Amino acid sequence: MQRLAELRLSAPMSVEVGAAEGDLVELTGQIAETWRQLGWTKPHWSALPDERFLPENVDGRRREFFASGADDVAQLLEILRYLGREPEEFATVTEFGCGLGRVTFHLAQRFKRVVACDISASHLE
71 Rama class: left (phi>0) / alpha (psi -120 to 50) / beta: alpha
The structure's pTM equals 0.79
Measured CA to CA, the distance from residue 92 to residue 94 in angstroms comes to 7
**Cα–chain center distance at 90:** 19
Q: 37 in a domain, yes or no? A: no
User: Are 52 and 58 contacting, i.e. CB atoms less than 8 angstroms apart?
Assistant: yes
pLDDT in tens, 7-16: 667 788 898 8
Q: 94 in a domain, yes or no? A: yes
Q: 108 in a domain, yes or no? A: yes
Q: 112 in a domain, yes or no? A: yes
Closest CA to 90 of 103, 75, 76: 76
pLDDT in tens, 12-71: 889 888 889 999 999 999 999 999 999 999 999 999 999 999 999 999 999 999 999 999
Query: First-to-last CA distance in the chain?
Result: 30
* Domain range for 64: 51-125
Is it the case that residue 1 has pLDDT exceeding 60? Answer: no
pLDDT (0 to 100) of residue 12: 85
Closest CA to 100 of 57, 71, 70, 69: 69
List beta partners, residue 94: 115
- Looking at the structure of the chain, the number of domains it has is 1
Q: Is 18 helix (H, G, I), strand (E, B) or coil?
A: coil
Residue spans of beta strands (DSSP E) within the chain: 93-96, 114-117
